[in-house]
Structure 1
Amino acid sequence: METSELLKKVRKIEISTKGLVNQIFSGEYHSVFKGRGMAFSEVREYQFGDDIRTIDWNVSARFNHPYVKVYEEERELTVILIVDVSGSGEFGSVQQLKKETAIELCAVLAFSALKNNDKVGVIAFSDIIEMFIPPKKGRTHVLRIIRELLDFKPLHMQTNIGEGLRYLTSAIKKRSIAFLISDFLGEGYEDSLKIAARKHDLIGVRIYDPREERIPPIGLMHLVDAETGETIFVDTSDRKFQRHYANWWKQKAEERHKIFRRNGVDSIDIRTDQSYIQPLINFFRAREKRW
């Protein structure tokens, strides 16, 4: 991608997602992902309505006037975006590719972290670790994350979700909030997910296209697996094919939900042809009620 085109895309994403964060997500994010506790900030004069338990008796005695201790939330949270950059992310049939939705979502989460003075980092994976951006604070760092994701070309096309989770467990020592962003079409990742979920606050974010959920009955179709390159011809009008595909999709969904539930992992489903705003708000509010 040309540098000028890349910078335009970065700026466009910053404007759209930063606006959403300022208007909607920052407060929701702050309420759900709390810091480690309260840290002493300063002493000030007592005001009507202050909790008398916060009175600093030593300072009050010295100045012969009541003073209270003021505390601030100690955050220092770390957010890790574990992003599936395999070939299946290049699929999109309606508004945008799964990859494009994933990048916008990463921008929203990164700017939410920035707004709350939290660190954010990225682990991008296919069936190998493709890129690691260590967690840091600041707008420049968030813009770098968006730029790198927009311009990134993976070395491999296949998926190994477990690889991304294993890297999270080994590379990020401190407990973090980890968003695992993928279409979850891969298999064999439960053991790695179980270990990662014990150490980190892990949230699965599934991004999918409506045409993956239901293939339209339009006759003969040439299908290509974006990850393996394998091609097949299918008759999408055939009832047996439609029934078989619907059962396969339902089975994959049930299996994924069971894996998440068994390991105490929250999840969000986002469609490429619909706004991700409401699913994120629903997630934040449901979690806040529970916690």
Structure 2
Amino acid sequence: MKRNDKLVELLERIRSVELATHRRVQDLLAGQYRSVFRGRGVELDQIREYVPGDDVRAIDWNVTARMGRPFVKEHIEERQLTLLLLVDVSASAEFGSSARDKRDRIAELASALAFSAIETGDRVGLVLFTDRIERFVPPGKGRRHVLRILREILTVEPEGTGTDLVEPLELVRRVQRKRAVVVMVSDFLESGDREVSLTRLQHAMRLTNARHDVIAARVRDPREVELPDVGWLVLEDAETGEEVEIDTSRREVRERYAADVRRQSEELTAALRAARVDALEVFTDEEVGPALLSFFRRRGRGLS
């Protein structure tokens, strides 16, 4: 494909993703984003002497001990939050059995979140990762900045093929001192020892979530959950190249595969719950907007 043709295709993809997400942002998503996140960030305004009627939970016991009389902390809502998108661009994200692969849905989800953030005046940053950090875009504001983020997601040519979910979380802890909303968008598939990977992820999530508000956004394809009955099939690990041939016409094979996938999913859910990280899930054959809106509403009720 010629360079000009590639540029035209890129612009069309950016425009289609922008239209698909921005319409939703204009009505419900931005409002839900604001209600879920804007009230959660607070900064210290002042410490003043206690007066009857103040919430005793706001008492600053250190100052109270020094002064010999009660003082309370007064907080105000942060006027501006930072949204950091940690986007998985490893080889497994290229998989898709429907019209859109996981990379497309990942781009749409990231775009919807980014547009929601700028609608409320927040800043948005981006980390693209595989088994290494591929790209880092510092937080910025405005529509042009969001379009740059979307372009980076759609055009990146990763050097790595594997996945390391811990590396981007460590980067966040190094570079982002002030509290941020951190959304990891990934299929959460890692090669290697599953138990070791989950232990590392849970630890990194817990450390990052202690300072920031971390959310796990999982993008999956239906064929990763349930195999079709199509006879002999070659399954390939997109990140290692390892292949295995199975007979999907046998019901016990399909059931065993589904059970393994279900167990792995439950283990991931348990690890995220232990780290106190909220999660949402989007499949490639469903629209991003309704799934994200449902998550916002559940989170607003404390149910996510």
Bin for the TM-score computed over the shorter chain: 0.7 to 0.9
Give the match for residue 223 of structure 2: 211
Residues 1:25 and 2:29 are matched in the alignment: yes
Q: Distance in 1 between matches of 2:250 and 2:164?
A: 32
2:30–2:116 CA contact under 8 A, matched in 1 = yes
5+ residue gaps, structure 1: 41-71
Q: Distance in 1 between matches of 2:255 and 2:24?
A: 40
Q: Distance in 2 between matches of 1:287 and 1:206?
A: 16
Give the match for residue 143 of structure 2: 139
Give the match for residue 59 of structure 2: none
Residues 1:255 and 2:267 are matched in the alignment: yes
- How many residue pairs align between the two structures? 260
Q: Distance in 1 between matches of 2:173 and 2:249?
A: 45
CA-to-partner distance for each residue in 1:41-89, whole Å, 9 max, x for gaps?
xxxxxxxxxxxxxxxxxxxxxxxxxxxxxxx964210000011110000
RMSD, matched Cα: 2.0
Structure label with greater radius of gyration: 1
SS in 1 for 2:158: coil
Q: Distance in 2 between matches of 1:242 and 1:37?
A: 50
2:112–2:289 CA contact under 8 A, matched in 1 = no
Give the match for residue 128 of structure 2: 124
Shift, 1:144, TM fit: 0.4
Residues 1:181 and 2:185 are matched in the alignment: yes
SS in 2 for 1:194: helix
Shift, 1:236, TM fit: 1.2
Q: Distance in 2 between matches of 1:75 and 1:251?
A: 42
Structure 1 segments, 4+ long, off by >3 Å, are: 35-40
SS in 2 for 1:33: helix
* Aligned counterpart for 1:272 among listed residues 281, 284, 290: 284
Residues 1:283 and 2:295 are matched in the alignment: yes
Partner amino acid, structure 2, of 1:253: S
Shift, 1:37, TM fit: 5.3
* Aligned counterpart for 2:103 among listed residues 99, 103, 111: 99
1:181–1:207 CA contact under 8 A, matched in 2 = yes
* Aligned counterpart for 2:241 among listed residues 220, 225, 229: 229
Give the match for residue 171 of structure 2: 167
1:39–1:74 CA contact under 8 A, matched in 2 = no
Shift, 1:243, TM fit: 2.7
SS in 2 for 1:179: strand
Task: Describe the shift of the 1:33–1:233 C-alpha distance in structure 2 as closer, same or farther (beyond 3 A).
Answer: same
Shift, 1:141, TM fit: 0.6
* Aligned counterpart for 1:83 among listed residues 87, 101, 104: 87
When normalised by structure 2's length, the TM-score is: 0.81
CA-to-partner distance for each residue in 1:268-290, whole Å, 9 max, x for gaps?
01110011222211211122223
2:108–2:288 CA contact under 8 A, matched in 1 = no
1:162–1:190 CA contact under 8 A, matched in 2 = no
Partner amino acid, structure 2, of 1:277: G
Shift, 1:226, TM fit: 0.9
Partner amino acid, structure 2, of 1:143: L
Q: Distance in 2 between matches of 1:267 and 1:179?
A: 9
